[in-house]
Amino acid sequence: MAAFRAQASMSVRGKLEVLLDLERLRDSRIVPFLLEVLADRREATAVRIHILRRLRSGQPVPDYRPAIAEAILRVLSERSSQELRLQAALALAKFTDIDGVPSALGRLALDPDEPIDLRYSAFTSLQQAGATPECTALLRQLSTDEALGRSAQSTLSIWRLG
């Protein structure tokens, strides 16, 4: 972590290599460090995407789940890189049991001013949450959407709610 912080001018590749080394360690300081790097808007998009993918594919310690979800929600709300936001929407699929996550994904999926691939990523994250009352209500709202309506209707049908 010190090596990462000390090298402000380190290449993106170098930073990714340091992150890969860190991810192999079992240290309680790793997740807070990753969240700190993720939150840094000055950090390279590729580095932040790598962290999102890591958080998405890993099994976070239960104590860190709310903090991880909150950090990802902040990234999702940024109006920066579309790819970064897309990865954030996908990463949130693992955190739909955290308060505020389904509603944020629902707002994004329902927003016709957002790019369709971002909206669809939010939809798939909601879909992965399963037929919870909140997700069901959001998919019912989406079922009339011009772009995502058929997908929402299909999901509701699969859930035997449509």
Which residues span the domain enclosing 66? 1-95
* Last residue within a domain, chosen from 95, 120, 147: 95
Residues 79 and 106 in one domain: no
Instruction: Give the residue among 63, 80, 71 at the shortest CA–CA distance from 104.
Output: 71
**Could you report the per-residue pLDDT of 99-127, keeping only the tens digit for each?**
999 999 999 999 999 999 999 999 999 99
* Last residue within a domain, chosen from 64, 95, 126: 95
Confidence of residue 92 (pLDDT cuts 50, 70, 90): very high
Instruction: Give the residue among 50, 49, 57, 42 at the shortest CA–CA distance from 20.
Output: 50
- pLDDT of 27 > 90? The answer is no
Residues 129 and 73 in one domain: no
